[in-house]
Amino acid sequence: MSGEIIFLGTGPTEPVRMPGRREERTNSSIILRVDDITVLFDCTLNFTEQIDRERIAPESIEHVFISHGHLDAIGGLPQLMRKNKNFIIYASDATRRSILENFKSLKGIEFKIIEHGKPVKLNKIEITPFNVIHSEKFPTFGFRINTGGKIK
């Protein structure tokens, strides 16, 4: 099994930029690739900048797991949809509602509702959402990822 984890951003809600310096931290987002499966965790307002920097083809993203319904986690979904209409969003029902309220253009996208402790299997990848404290308005998830072994 081959794969990689790419940290697209590791920053807080407001990106940390240092004018004149290369260092900057954009909103938290991760790409996981295992064999031929590409998974995006959170689709930030900085999405286009992040994938361009890492030379990731948006068309390769098949699965998008959303941790919660704030714009720092969902704000890039319209950018992704402009370049790729063939992906599935995994989110809590409250987050799904927030996405559809904020972005009418995403009405045609497939959603799968996820819940605390219930794993989602994508071929060799098992992703289990677990509750974390972040917001009273939205259930917020962290994600445990199991590939059944080491990724080389």
Second-level CATH architecture of 3-146:
4-Layer Sandwich (3.60)
Per-residue pLDDT at 105 = 85
Per-residue pLDDT at 150 = 57
Q: What is the mean pLDDT of each run of 10 residues along the chain (152 residues)?
A: 82 60 72 93 90 92 94 92 93 94 88 96 93 79 85 48
Per-residue pLDDT at 149 = 66
Per-residue pLDDT at 94 = 93
Per-residue pLDDT at 39 = 96
- Give the start-to-end residue ranges of the domains of the chain: 3-146
Per-residue pLDDT at 152 = 46
The pLDDT tens digits of the residues spanning 21-40 come to: 555 667 789 999 998 899 99
Residue by residue, what is the 3-state secondary structure of the chain?
CCEEEEEEECECCCCEECCCCCCEECECEEEEEECCEEEEECCCCCHHHHHHHHCCCHHHCCEEECCCCCHHHHCCHHHHHHHCCCCEEEECHHHHHHHHHHCHHHCCCEEEECCCCCCEEECCEEEEEEEECCCCCCCEEEEEEECCCCCC
| pTM, to two decimals | 0.88
